[in-house]
Amino acid sequence: MINFNEPIYINKGLNYISDAIFINKRLNGDGVFTGKCKKWMESKFSSNEVLLTTSCTHALEMGAILCDIKAGDEVIMPSYTFVSTANAFVLHGARIKFVDIRPDTMNIDEKLIENAITEKTKAIIPVHYAGVACEMDTIQEIAKKYKLLVIEDAAQGVMGRYQDKYLGSIGDIGCYSFHETKNYTMGEGGAILVNNLNFKERAEIIREKGTNRTQFFKGEIDKYSWVDKGSSYLPSEMNAAYLYAQLEIAEEIKENRLATWDFYYQGLKILEENGFIELPFIPENCTHNAHMFYVKAKDLDERGNLIHYLKSNGIGAVFHYVPLHSSIAGLKYGEFIGEDHYTTKESERLVRLPLYYGINKQDVEYIVKKVCDFYIRH
Ligand SMILES: *Cc1c(COP(=O)(O)O)cnc(C)c1O
């Protein structure tokens, strides 16, 4: 069986965990390795402050608190996304305004955002699907015009770029995931990029259970206490240690994934040219990170058959995202603004193929062959 995903394993990751335990003798949050990850990301992604978190879900929740989301506020996002993008804001009483996606990138259609803005709108949440950037210049302009905040869900976008900027570093806040299924992993984990300096101090407080403990450790104050709402969003040093080994070779990991992505693309191009499937599209001004390789079948039926065929040939292909606006919670907490031209239709066609760091070249060749065989047979 070729698994859909396998977690990254790097020898150094284990050594670093051992260092955290036996040398640094410190396992709780914000120790040596968390600090190294933070510094590395701040310098690489040019963000004012990067805080490691327990997940991207939690980074998004911190974002909602920083935006002061209150009952009745509205936020705009695509319906084609993971539940956490919406949940983080629903938890604080927001109503979700779902907007249609572009069929080429599966990202929010920037041209439809303005139509969803009302007096209650607080923020726009672009999701960089598959590590391919949303049209951020347009989104930033709209946000400026209507005085809205931008929180990037860059869970899938670590190391991807829009023009010369890293995803997650463009909006007021950016959120990364280091979940096992993402490009860089600590099992469960994430980061919040605080690009807007106005949020810096408060972000540290919210992450430290609503205390000013971080300032205390920096020597800025002489005792710490409860100053704001917050929670515990600090990951363990063991998780940070595992992640740091990957950040050190972040480019190599990206190149490895890109090579697999390109191989799929070249191998399956012939099916696209003959009108059987559609392949991912990368706009000119985007540098993607090969988070995902997907193909689009003709429709829901054909996709089901393709996944079944691949499975019966030992290949773990998957689909994802029942559009949020049509889910039980989505119907309760939000609504779709405008016409659903593409969200449902395109999401029903999409199939993700196995892609992970170090995937066997022969396995990828075999998968390409099997996808081609499927279309020859049918
Ligand atoms: C994975 C993912 C998340 C959630 O990340 P966690 O770290 O698992 O909380 C949020 N949004 C998107 C778009 C994702 O792909």
- Residue range 321-378, pLDDT digits in tens: 899 999 999 999 999 999 999 999 999 999 999 999 999 999 999 999 999 999 998 7
Within 10 angstroms of residue 211's Cβ, the number of other Cβ atoms is 18
Strands 190-194 and 173-177 turn out to be antiparallel
Rounded alpha-carbon distances, angstroms, from residue 338 to 78, 95, 101, 143, 330: 12, 16, 11, 19, 16
Q: What is the pLDDT of residue 173?
A: 98
pLDDT tens for each residue of the chain, 378 residues long: 999 999 999 999 999 999 999 999 999 999 999 999 999 999 999 999 999 999 999 999 999 999 999 999 999 999 999 999 999 999 999 999 999 999 999 999 999 999 999 999 999 999 999 999 999 999 999 999 999 999 999 999 999 999 999 999 999 999 999 999 999 999 999 999 999 999 999 999 999 999 998 888 888 888 889 999 999 999 999 999 999 999 999 999 999 999 999 999 999 999 999 999 999 999 999 999 999 999 999 999 999 999 999 999 999 999 988 999 999 999 999 999 999 999 999 999 999 999 999 999 999 999 999 999 999 987
Kindly report whether the global pTM for this prediction surpasses the value 0.85: yes
Strands 286-287 and 49-53 turn out to be unpaired
Is residue 239 in contact with ligand 1, taking CB distance under 6 Å?
no
Q: What is the pLDDT of residue 378?
A: 73
- Ligand 1, atom 5, residue with closest C-alpha: 56
Is residue 185 in contact with ligand 1, taking CB distance under 6 Å?
no
Interaxial angle between packed helices 200-207 and 56-66, expressed in degrees from 0 to 180 and rounded to the nearest 10: 130
Is residue 153 in contact with ligand 1, taking CB distance under 6 Å?
yes
CATH level 3 topology of 11-247: Aspartate Aminotransferase; domain 2 (3.40.640)
Task: Give the start-to-end residue ranges of the domains of the chain.
Answer: 11-247, 250-377
Question: What is the secondary structure of 78-92 as a DSSP string?
Answer: ESSS-HHHHHHHHTT
Confirm or reject CATH 3.90.1150.10 for domain 250-377, answering yes or no: yes
Q: What is the pLDDT of residue 377?
A: 82
What distance in Å separates the CA atoms of residue 84 and residue 102, rounded to the nearest whole number? Answer: 21
